[in-house]
Homo-oligomer: A and B are copies of this chain.
């Protein structure tokens, strides 16, 4: 029986994907996302539930594609304003002992040398509890703000491939395990011969090294990825240790999971060594009716304009140009057609009904038993390794999940009752597995590794 892996999704912004919930009086996060206490409360709750990691989405810029401007995104607080989640993490690490933290970080907006320094620092400060969600970034707005040139989609991944090579070299190869010896008698803090240049010269980057940071517990942070395009899937199959996926149902998931695992194997990696996590929105009540009531309560704060501003940002389509009665099939956009593939013949209204709370992630509305049943089906039929839990109301959603669903899963032997190790990678791969596996592409750069 497969044990599940469960991440809690969030973003350092009033509202991530449950557009409109800032109007919900219960939603403290929308007012308190800059308050450390709000975040440490969440982290402590998740650790009580033995959750693998708190996961931060992140963007740079403001969605400005609805009606050709950013007004809808601003008005409805569509992932705006925001703050930098990486700067929260040491406070959360101080408040917890086991919970992992993963953050989205763009290969377009930061140099690889800086990236390596950032994640090594956080891996030290968290004592090995950090993960890196690799994104290549998609917002035109960021380019206008001098954050780097946006390359064509597939080339972004070519560049990201080389970017990861550079950071792997810095993390794995630049400092030997035995570099820092602190030998006072011989007056040697660090053995110079054990700190190496990386001398990387490639198509996109030239980085001499050495890395600034001494080896941290995990060295390479746990690599997450969520690309859904063919090139994105290829990138994830090569690099990711945990993959975020969006599926409509367990049967559809099975097919996609099989395909993804084949791509992982094609990169010479154990296909089961990558944890595939489905994005889901559990709405949990004491009874199924109570859960439905919670869902209906949240719905009253939703509006099409904010929802479409977010989707327009993702798909590059200005959805203000369509009425609720327009047919999806008539929207001339690859991005939109890809998203709406399963909705042939449907209207914008149908589409809105589908995405209006938490976007495309599957909603699971019911008692803890019902939610646990559904998650088990996703694992047993769909073949996923676990879930990325998307909240509707914060606090509320994650707390309900930890208080009601986690104990149910634990009773069924489907979720850990205690953390087995101290580092994030051990949460995924078992006690002792703090470093990347030998079949991961970072491993080839290990200091003193045979080449």
What residues of chain A have their CB less than 8 Å away from a CB belonging to chain B? 12, 14, 22-23, 30-31, 34, 36, 40, 60-62, 69-71, 74-77, 80-84, 86-95, 109-114, 117-118, 120-122, 124-125, 141-142, 144-147, 175, 180, 182, 184, 187-192, 195, 205-210, 212-214, 216, 301, 303
Q: Of A83, A92, A121, which is in contact with the most chain B CB atoms at under 10 Å from its CB?
A: A83
Verify B114–A147 contact, CB threshold 8 A.
Answer: yes
Known: A83-B125, A146-B207. 16 other contacts (CB 8 A): A12-B121, A23-B187, A34-B121, A70-B192, A74-B191, A75-B187, A76-B189, A81-B190, A81-B214, A84-B117, A84-B118, A90-B92, A91-B125, A94-B94, A94-B95, A113-B145
Verify B113–A146 contact, CB threshold 8 A.
Answer: yes
**A301 to B301 CA separation, bound complex (whole angstroms):** 65
Contacting residues, chain B, for A30 (C-beta < 8 A): 182
Verify A190–B117 contact, CB threshold 8 A.
Answer: no
**A216 to B82 CA separation, bound complex (whole angstroms):** 11
**A206 to B148 CA separation, bound complex (whole angstroms):** 11
Contacting residues, chain B, for A31 (C-beta < 8 A): 182
Distance in angstroms from A371 CB to nearest chain B CB is 29
Verify B195–A74 contact, CB threshold 8 A.
Answer: yes
Contacting residues, chain B, for A210 (C-beta < 8 A): 62, 70
Verify A113–B207 contact, CB threshold 8 A.
Answer: no
Known A36-B94, A94-B94, A182-B31; contact A87-B122, beta-carbon cutoff 8 A? yes
**A301 to B125 CA separation, bound complex (whole angstroms):** 28
**A114 to B91 CA separation, bound complex (whole angstroms):** 21
**A86 to B84 CA separation, bound complex (whole angstroms):** 11
Q: How many copies of this chain sit in the oligomeric assembly? A: 2
**A145 to B117 CA separation, bound complex (whole angstroms):** 12
Identify which of B23, B36, B69, B118 contacts A184 (C-beta below 8 A): B23
Verify A84–B190 contact, CB threshold 8 A.
Answer: no
**A76 to B22 CA separation, bound complex (whole angstroms):** 53
* Chain B residue at minimum C-beta to C-beta distance from A210: B62
* Chain B residue at minimum C-beta to C-beta distance from A142: B113
Distance in angstroms from A358 CB to nearest chain B CB is 18
Q: Of A71, A124, A141, A216, which is in contact with the most chain B CB atoms at under 10 Å from its CB?
A: A124
Closest 6 CB pairs of A and B: A34-B124, A90-B91, A77-B189, A83-B121, A71-B192, A81-B214
Verify A209–B120 contact, CB threshold 8 A.
Answer: no
Known A146-B112, A212-B60; contact A93-B36, beta-carbon cutoff 8 A? yes
Known A40-B94, A125-B34; contact A77-B146, beta-carbon cutoff 8 A? no
Verify B90–A87 contact, CB threshold 8 A.
Answer: yes
Verify B87–A207 contact, CB threshold 8 A.
Answer: no
Contacting residues, chain B, for A90 (C-beta < 8 A): 36, 87-92
Verify B125–A36 contact, CB threshold 8 A.
Answer: yes
Contacting residues, chain B, for A77 (C-beta < 8 A): 189-190
**A198 to B322 CA separation, bound complex (whole angstroms):** 31
Contacting residues, chain B, for A190 (C-beta < 8 A): 74-75, 77, 80-81
Verify A74–B192 contact, CB threshold 8 A.
Answer: yes
Verify B94–A213 contact, CB threshold 8 A.
Answer: no
* Chain B residue at minimum C-beta to C-beta distance from A77: B189
Contacting residues, chain B, for A91 (C-beta < 8 A): 90-91, 93-94, 125
Verify B187–A62 contact, CB threshold 8 A.
Answer: no
Distance in angstroms from A85 CB to nearest chain B CB is 9
Contacting residues, chain B, for A192 (C-beta < 8 A): 69-71, 74-75
Contacting residues, chain B, for A92 (C-beta < 8 A): 90
Q: Of A22, A62, A146, A207, which is in contact with the most chain B CB atoms at under 10 Å from its CB?
A: A146
Contacting residues, chain B, for A76 (C-beta < 8 A): 187, 189
**A36 to B71 CA separation, bound complex (whole angstroms):** 41
Distance in angstroms from A118 CB to nearest chain B CB is 6
* Chain B residue at minimum C-beta to C-beta distance from A211: B81
Distance in angstroms from A292 CB to nearest chain B CB is 23
